[in-house]
Structure 1
Amino acid sequence: MIAERLSSRVVRAVVVVLLVVVIAFPLYWLVISSLKPSTLLGEVSLIPSQLTLDNYRAALAGPIPGWMLNTIGIALCTTALGVTVASLAAFGFARYRFRGRTILFGIVLASLAIPEYALVLPQFTIMRQFGLLNTWAAVILPLAANALVLFLLRQYFAQLPEELFDAARLDGAGELRLFWTVAVPLVRPGLGAAALLLFLNAWNAYLLPLVMLTSSDQFTMPIGLAFLHSQLNFSIVEESPWGAITAGTVISTVPLIVCLLVMQRHFIGGLTAGAVKS
């Protein structure tokens, strides 16, 4: 019996170690490549023969810091707007009975099946009509309308007991006060999970910023790094930007890693709690 338990633990440990190696190896290779001189980027070795910080100096001396600020600004604004709009809509779907509610919520869920590529053209047309192309708003507004976040928050609001709202109404609380003082404090884990989903989605967005942003000083990190790669392909630059690209990619992943490490407990707890009907 003891031998069986020990062997099962060993197997689990081996599987976990293998998964960690498979998942972490690309990140390790990226970091090591960012520390190699440009002439050694093609070298295949786990431990490079020479390390340098020149790639990071080149990255920080170019447009990458500006692209990073654009990405941070768009991600934060998208998160704030998306959480605000989705929480209000989710509260309405969860707590109020009105004609067409089921149909409207079904449309919201159906929108999850529409691929991003099919939405870009109508979104581009709308933003052009409003004169918002090549602005943050052209990226923030479509990204903030996230059906998955609305669905997640709706599940949270739906499991709150009605007696809390009835008691607050007896005390003279209005509907907005019910939302702000009663519902929001009770769904903070869900709001944290929703905020993280919106932030990650906005940070990693590629297709929408590619279509909406035309000026290089408005680029986000994914678009900017792809722009450097395109310059290399078309021989626009004399010196290879691969060193700056690898260093910029590492720089762009640092905020995400820090955010996930800080918020992982709230994120996991928010997703699991919202999935259980009390």
Structure 2
Amino acid sequence: MSRFARAIRVQNPWVDRLILGATIVLAILWVIPALWIVSLSFRPNFLLMRSTASILPIPFTTENYELILRLSRVPGWFINSAMTALLMTAMVLIVSSLAGYAFARIKFPGRRILFIFVLTGLMVPEQAVFIPLHTMFADLGLHNTYIALATPRVAVPIGVFLMTQFFRAVPREIEEAAELDNASRFTIFWKIMLPLAIPALTTLGLFTFLHAWNDFLWPLVSATDDDSYTVTVGLASIQSNYAQTEGLGMVMASAVLASLPVFILYLIFQRYIVSGVSMGSGR
């Protein structure tokens, strides 16, 4: 903490309370729309046609969820999203950790130029490469497969940057001690560096899974068969004009079902995320 920040704390003891109060207010403002969506999903549609102002689901009904789950393709869409997100997450973690370790620890010709080239990928909108990606996978006959849904997002520049910064912060003395024991480069990476990088890998993996699960545009382009839809594309395909007619509750229930797996994952891995963010901010 800087001297200026410490001086402010000493002169004004209410700073921490004001920050805490502002954080609570912002958290409430963020939670209210989510609670409102959940409430609407448990209300009958004939009441939603009259008003959507109430945040309490009175009267309570599970009809909207039952209607969605009765559709035979919905479980398949969830499986497609899960398989795509897991495959994409696994490949991103493998590529990002290997590339990050190479950029951080291995000296090779053109390393800095190549690292800058990788970071320039952050400036390229993903929509700009949809046409060549679609053409490439169409020529290979891979559309409507998990490979086509997952592989276009494997080379994630932000993932390589995150892992590079993490490995650079690991003291070199750890590697030097392993080298004295005749450990190979891969052994150092696999048995020493990766266990240390679990918080960073967990954070990157969760955000990758979140992006893959919520992705809509590329699955809409790549998956043309109903049975190959992900949950986002599939649920959107059955909504039609429900929001303007009698199915607003079903739309809200679709949103809740689509976001529920990610919410559960965040609760499970919350401590790893906090650890990874705190370690990153401490550098």
Q: Which residue of 2 aligns with 1:247?
A: 253
Distance (whole Å) between structure 1 residues aligned to residue 26 and residue 48 of structure 2 = 26
In the alignment, the residues of structure 2 paired with residue 189 and residue 252 of structure 1 have an alpha-carbon distance, to the nearest angstrom, of 26
Find the aligned partners of 1:167 and 1:14 in 2 and give their Cα distance: 48
Match of 1:202 in 2: 212
Instruction: For 1:241 and 1:46, locate their aligned partners in 2 and report how far apart those are by CA, in whole Å.
Output: 18
Runs of 4+ in structure 1 over 6 Å off? none
> How do 1:45-124 residues align onto structure 2 when only pairs under 5 Å count?
45-62=54-71, 63-124=73-134
Give 1:258 deviation, angstroms.
Answer: 1.7
| Aligned counterparts, 1:152-167, within 5 A | 152-167=162-177
> Counterpart amino acid of 1:55?
N
Worse overlay, 220-229 or 101-110: 220-229
Q: CA deviation at 1:81?
A: 1.3
Contact 1:144 1:198 in 2 (8 A): no
The answer as to whether partners of 1:64 and 1:248 remain within 8 angstroms in 2 is no
Give, as a single letter, the amino acid of the residue that structure 1 aligns with 2:198: R
Matched, 1:23 2:65: no
Secondary structure at the counterpart of residue 170 of structure 2: coil
Deviations 1:81-110 (A, max 9, x none): 110111111111111111111111111111
Answer yes or no: is 1:192 the counterpart of 2:202: yes
Normalized against structure 2, the TM-score is what? Answer: 0.86
Q: Say if 1:59 and 1:245, in contact at 8 Å, map to a contact too.
A: no
1:224-254 deviations in whole A, cap 9, x for unaligned? Answer: 222123x338x9xxx8544333212111222
**Does the CA contact (< 8 Å) of 1:93 and 1:101 recur in 2?**
yes
* Contact 2:89 2:208 (C-alpha < 8 Å) held by counterparts: yes
Change (3 A) 1:83 1:13: closer
Q: Residues 157 and 6 from structure 1, CA distance in 2 versus in 1: closer, same or farther, beyond 3 angstroms?
A: closer
Structure 2 unpaired stretches of 5+: 1-11
- Structure 1 unaligned runs (5+)? none
Task: Name the stretch that deviates more: 185-194 or 40-49.
Answer: 40-49
Deviation at 1:49, TM superposition (A): 4.1
Amino acid at match of 2:275: G
- The amino acid of 2:253's aligned partner reads A
Partner of 1:220: 230
Cα 1:109–1:49 change in 2 (3 A) is same
Q: What displacement does 1:213 show?
A: 0.8
Query: In structure 1, how many angstroms separate the alpha carbons of the residues matched to 2:32 and 2:84?
Result: 30
Report if the CA contact (8 A) 2:144-2:228 is conserved. Answer: yes
- Alpha-carbon deviations, 1:115-152, whole Å to 9, x = none? 12112222222222322111111111112221111110
State the 1:52 CA deviation.
Answer: 0.8
Cα-Cα RMSD: 2.3
Distance 1:47 1:165 in 2: 58
Q: Give 1:271 deviation, angstroms.
A: 2.7
User: Using a 3 Å threshold, how does the CA distance of structure 1 residues 274 and 202 change in structure 2: closer, same or farther?
Assistant: same
CA deviation after TM superposition for structure 1 residue 17, in Å = 3.9
In structure 1, distance between residues paired with 2:168 and 2:23 = 37
Q: Does the CA-based 8 Å contact 1:75-1:202 persist in structure 2? A: yes
Deviation at 1:12, TM superposition (A): 4.8
Contact 1:221 1:252 in 2 (8 A): yes
Amino acid at match of 1:258: I
Separation of aligned partners in 1, 2:149 and 2:88: 8
CA contact (8 A) 2:40 2:55 kept: no
Identity level (%): 35
- Between the aligned partners of 1:141 and 1:215, the Cα distance in structure 2 is 19
How many pairs does the alignment contain? 268
Change (3 A) 1:261 1:38: same
If the length of structure 1 is used for normalisation, what is the TM-score? 0.88
